[in-house]
Structure 1
Amino acid sequence: MGELSFADVEAARARIAGRVREVPVVRADDVVTETGSAEVFFALEFLQHTGTFKARGAQNFLLAHREAGTLTGAGVTIASGGNAGLACAWAARELGVPATVFLPANAPRVKVERLRGYGAEVRLVGAEYAEALAACTEFAATTGALASHAYDHPFIAAGAGTVVLEIHRQLPDLDAVVVAVGGGGLFAGVATAARHYGVRTIAVEPENCRALNAAVEAGHLVDVQLDSVAADSLGARRASDMALRAAQHESVRSVLVSDAEIVRARQSLWDEYRLAVEHAAGAALAGVLSPTGYTPNDGEKVCVVLCGANTNPVDLTA
């Protein structure tokens, strides 16, 4: 798979224009460092359709395939009970095509009902994700349905990267964008677009959920163990090749944060701004607040992408 290009992201922007919500960018509190202070902004991408950035990639994926004539009457299929599945089901409904989503039989009922609310046909197969994925793959092969992926596809990544074009329009003098990384779809798109504008990308991962960081260290893709409070949305065992390629540019810095720091940052977003977000969004903010994270220079403008809000807020204290 080739390296993602800025042209890919621009093409995605043209396709999905008017179909997704433009991200609001708001000023947050400054971060004080040893060298001075930096201006911090939040990109409120959790206000996107379905509650996460994944709506962008799902729209671009389906529209690009429709343009190419590879979106058949059998529609689209995906194995995911998380944000990717929701985005796929929503995008399919918006385009008027069928969506079939495969989940393990023990999937939470609330996820099943939400998928059905977007018009998807939900098929419960097996006790583990791997069994649902195998059934999804067989379904695509036998019906001709288009198989989608949660993050490892150039149309998915390019769609996600369009958020940077919207951020840059609002902050043309931005110095760095901070983004949480799971499998790397959002990161690959963001880093590709940011590099075009001369903006640094800070890739943030939990210490015990570090598929991209481990790949950068090894120089090739590796499987990692997953043990993090943010694993529900950042829990990819292996990053995408696109993400590794993007991370190998000098404009990218990879940082790790602890679960405790993620929890504190997420709680801070609630305490200070009344924003109830996923732990993944908390991880992005932790990437700036952590002593082992990214330390901006004096006067820098930094934008933290708050990527999603499909969370249970009951553990946020008043």
Structure 2
Amino acid sequence: MLATEPLPVGRADIETAYDRICGHVRQTPVISPGRGSFGLDLDLTLKLECLQHTGSFKPRGAFNSLMAANVPEAGVAAASGGNHGAAVAFAAARLGHRATIFVPEISSPVKIEKIRQAGAEVHIGGARYADAAEACAQFRAQTGAIDIHPYDTPTTIAGQGTVGLEWETEAPDLDTVLVAVGGGGLIAGVATWYQDRVKIVAVEPERSCCLKAAREAGRPVDVEVDGVAADSLGAKRVGDLVYRQAAAYVDEAVVVPDSAIESAEARLWRDLAIATEAGGATALAALLSGAYRPGPTERVGVLVCGANVDLTRLATLTP
């Protein structure tokens, strides 16, 4: 699809973001597990953003947002299911800023510990992300700390879009890329980088699918949030800016059940010794479940976007 009006983020913004943050984030690898891997007869590669600092793609947007902002003495505050909070805490510490992170009770202890290890102050409360966001907003109003939004600002989208910029240099001949969606900053950024040159497929859990709901309604709408990937992909509503970018550049959107996500986690661990959280395995689940069926000669790239999993849980999963 083509944009009909100027969009908040363009490819030049992603290039600027990459120049800004490249000394602070890792260039994560692309691997080719081989035709027949996971029982799939296709030309498949995996972009291992799970090897990024703090175990997810989130530091890209966090560094870009912080480095583009005037940060006050009160520092930064963020609400998060876990990965965004760890990224903001990590980036703030590297740049010499205070960070206060608000997380809901459903957040993984693994992710909460990562936030603490980065030196941030952590507040745990509320059943869902929306509760943590409300507490964070109250804190910012009282202290003057600035917000680092997890997905719906131009600097966040452009920062996450650097994944696409890297990916194209590492695997320049892809026909299609599959990207998991929570609030949508990652898919918006990656799709903006590739635009109409590569097919962009958004993948969401069936029980947390705000982009699917927005596409059906023609605008962002609230959805119920639940399921195995809720702590990383459980946004109640897709971002307004995200929706505009995705409406312009995302070609297809599919949903997958929790069982397929857990099977993808188990296959990545069993077959490749790659430990991923549920959100990190969601894009691969679209292939394993048949939610997305590529053509026989289609060259497909899958983004493995998060590694913050409790290994004791991972050991209980079966392909």
Verify same fold: TM over 0.5: yes
Gaps of 5+ in 2: 1-5
Contact conserved, 1:102 with 1:133, CA < 8 A, in 2?
yes
1:64 pairs, out of 68, 77, 82, with: 68
Give, in angstroms, the shift of residue 46 of structure 1.
Answer: 0.5
Specify the alignment match of 2:261 in structure 1: 262
Specify the alignment match of 2:227 in structure 1: 228
Give, in angstroms, the shift of residue 243 of structure 1.
Answer: 2.6
Alpha-carbon distance between aligned partners in 2 of 1:260 and 1:232, rounded to the nearest angstrom: 16
Contact conserved, 2:183 with 2:238, CA < 8 A, in 1?
yes
Specify the alignment match of 2:25 in structure 1: 20
Alpha-carbon distance between aligned partners in 2 of 1:43 and 1:264, rounded to the nearest angstrom: 19
Alpha-carbon distance between aligned partners in 1 of 2:41 and 2:123, rounded to the nearest angstrom: 51
Specify the alignment match of 1:78 in structure 2: 78
Q: Secondary structure at the match of 2:237?
A: coil
Specify the alignment match of 2:189 in structure 1: 189
RMSD: 2.4
Alpha-carbon distance between aligned partners in 2 of 1:300 and 1:149, rounded to the nearest angstrom: 35
Higher mean C-alpha displacement, 169-178 vs 295-304: 295-304
Match runs of 1:275-294 below 5 Å: 275-291=274-290, 293-294=291-292
Give, in angstroms, the shift of residue 237 of structure 1.
Answer: 1.1
Contact conserved, 2:83 with 2:111, CA < 8 A, in 1?
no
Contact conserved, 2:82 with 2:108, CA < 8 A, in 1?
no
Percent of matched pairs sharing the same residue = 47
2:9 is aligned with 1:4: yes
Specify the alignment match of 1:272 in structure 2: 271
The Cα offsets for residues 60-91 of structure 1, whole Å up to 9 and x where unpaired, read as: 010011xxxx2222211112251111100000
Alpha-carbon distance between aligned partners in 2 of 1:75 and 1:144, rounded to the nearest angstrom: 8
Contact conserved, 1:207 with 1:258, CA < 8 A, in 2?
yes
Higher mean C-alpha displacement, 224-233 vs 108-117: 108-117
Alpha-carbon distance between aligned partners in 1 of 2:109 and 2:171, rounded to the nearest angstrom: 41
Alpha-carbon distance between aligned partners in 1 of 2:208 and 2:200, rounded to the nearest angstrom: 19
Match runs of 1:119-138 below 5 Å: 119-124=119-124, 129-138=129-138
Alpha-carbon distance between aligned partners in 1 of 2:167 and 2:106, rounded to the nearest angstrom: 39
2:87 is aligned with 1:87: yes
Q: Residue 31 and residue 223 in structure 1: after superposition, are their counterparts in 2 closer, same or farther (change >3 A)?
A: farther
Alpha-carbon distance between aligned partners in 2 of 1:260 and 1:131, rounded to the nearest angstrom: 27
For 1:64, the aligned partner's letter is A
Contact conserved, 1:22 with 1:166, CA < 8 A, in 2?
yes
The Cα offsets for residues 105-152 of structure 1, whole Å up to 9 and x where unpaired, read as: 897765554323211123456676555433322332333211112212
For 1:153, the aligned partner's letter is T
Q: Residue 225 and residue 200 in structure 1: after superposition, are their counterparts in 2 closer, same or farther (change >3 A)?
A: same
Specify the alignment match of 2:166 in structure 1: 166
Contact conserved, 1:77 with 1:148, CA < 8 A, in 2?
yes
The Cα offsets for residues 127-178 of structure 1, whole Å up to 9 and x where unpaired, read as: 7655543332233233321111221222111111101111110111111111
Give, in angstroms, the shift of residue 264 of structure 1.
Answer: 1.2
Alpha-carbon distance between aligned partners in 1 of 2:227 and 2:125, rounded to the nearest angstrom: 26
Q: Residue 31 and residue 208 in structure 1: after superposition, are their counterparts in 2 closer, same or farther (change >3 A)?
A: farther
Give, in angstroms, the shift of residue 100 of structure 1.
Answer: 1.5
Give, in angstroms, the shift of residue 252 of structure 1.
Answer: 1.6
Alpha-carbon distance between aligned partners in 2 of 1:50 and 1:130, rounded to the nearest angstrom: 23
Q: Residue 77 and residue 252 in structure 1: after superposition, are their counterparts in 2 closer, same or farther (change >3 A)?
A: same
Specify the alignment match of 2:141 in structure 1: 141
Give, in angstroms, the shift of residue 283 of structure 1.
Answer: 1.1
Q: Residue 106 and residue 307 in structure 1: after superposition, are their counterparts in 2 closer, same or farther (change >3 A)?
A: closer
Give, in angstroms, the shift of residue 263 of structure 1.
Answer: 1.3
2:62 is aligned with 1:43: no
Give, in angstroms, the shift of residue 37 of structure 1.
Answer: 4.7
For 1:59, the aligned partner's letter is F
Q: Secondary structure at the match of 2:178?
A: strand
Alpha-carbon distance between aligned partners in 1 of 2:119 and 2:86, rounded to the nearest angstrom: 10
The Cα offsets for residues 157-200 of structure 1, whole Å up to 9 and x where unpaired, read as: 1111101111110111111111100110111101111216x011
Alpha-carbon distance between aligned partners in 2 of 1:128 and 1:234, rounded to the nearest angstrom: 12
Alpha-carbon distance between aligned partners in 1 of 2:114 and 2:13, rounded to the nearest angstrom: 31
Specify the alignment match of 1:297 in structure 2: 295
2:58 pairs, out of 54, 58, 63, with: 54
Higher mean C-alpha displacement, 141-150 vs 235-244: 141-150
Specify the alignment match of 2:246 in structure 1: 247
Q: Number of residues paired by the alignment? A: 309
For 1:24, the aligned partner's letter is P
Alpha-carbon distance between aligned partners in 2 of 1:124 and 1:232, rounded to the nearest angstrom: 13
